[in-house]
Amino acid sequence: MKIVSTQQNKLLTVCAILSIVMTHLAKRGNFGEAITGISTQFFVKGRPVPQGSLKFINGHAIHMRAQDLALWRADISNTAQFVGVEKALEGVEVHLTFTLKKPKSVNRKEPFIRPDIDKLIRAVLDGLTGVAYDDDGQVVKITAIKEYGETEGVLIRVIDKVKLSRSLLSAESVIDEHFNRYAD
């Protein structure tokens, strides 16, 4: 009989949980990629759930689709963690492309129907809180597109502005050094 220490047991439990989460994400079709810690892009499969305004019922503030919203934000958060989004210390850019199924009764090409894009954005930003940044106030630039497609979900790209600036400065100094070397 092999005796496992408490620390080893905790590690095995964490590994088992991670395995379950990774299997769940893979089955849902979520994927992503990280580019040198500066930019991370990933897709969260599923019907995007808007985060509407709070409704007051019997003196209590609630979201009308609270359970769906909680699951959607959890999918966003879990996928971001799974693909290796690093928490930014300062400003971030967020680029979003929401893909919705086109209703059979609709003939137009652009989805200028509900859900509202600002409410879709709000749900994603809250889903990224604690993973990509500490507070969604760190988002300094955002772009969002709503389109029709076969697979519903959201393509998310998070760019760490500080790391991007450092990378560009580093590249610029290498180019300057290279240019100066051969300019003589």
Tens of pLDDT along the chain (184 residues) come to 445 455 555 555 554 554 555 545 544 555 555 445 577 899 999 999 998 766 667 777 666 567 889 999 999 999 999 988 889 888 899 999 999 988 777 776 666 667 889 999 999 999 999 999 999 899 999 999 999 888 999 999 998 876 655 555 555 555 556 556 665 5
**Has residue 15 been placed in a domain?**
no
Of 73, 79, 75, residue with least CA distance to 40: 79
pLDDT of residue 121: 96
| 16 is a domain residue | no
For residue 13, is it within any domain? no
Q: What pLDDT, in 10s, does the model give residues 101-151?
A: 887 777 766 666 678 899 999 999 999 999 999 998 999 999 999 998 889
**C-alpha of 167 from chain center:** 22
Within a domain: 166: yes
Range of the domain at 54: 29-183
Has residue 18 been placed in a domain? no
- Any domain includes 3: no
CA 79 to chain centre: 7
Q: Do 48 and 117 meet the contact criterion of CB atoms below 8 Å apart?
A: no
Query: Are the CB atoms for 38 and 22 separated by under 8 Å?
Result: no
* Residue 22 belongs to a domain: no
Instruction: Report yes or no: 128 and 117 within 8 Å, Cβ to Cβ.
Output: no
- CATH number of the domain that residue 168 is part of: 3.30.1330.70
pTM for the predicted model, two decimal places: 0.68
- Split into its structural domains, the chain has a count of 1
Q: Looking at residue 15, what is its pLDDT? A: 47
Q: What region does 120 belong to: left with phi over 0, alpha with psi -120 to 50, or beta?
A: alpha
Share of the chain above pLDDT 90, in %: 38
Whether 105 is covered by a domain: the verdict is: yes
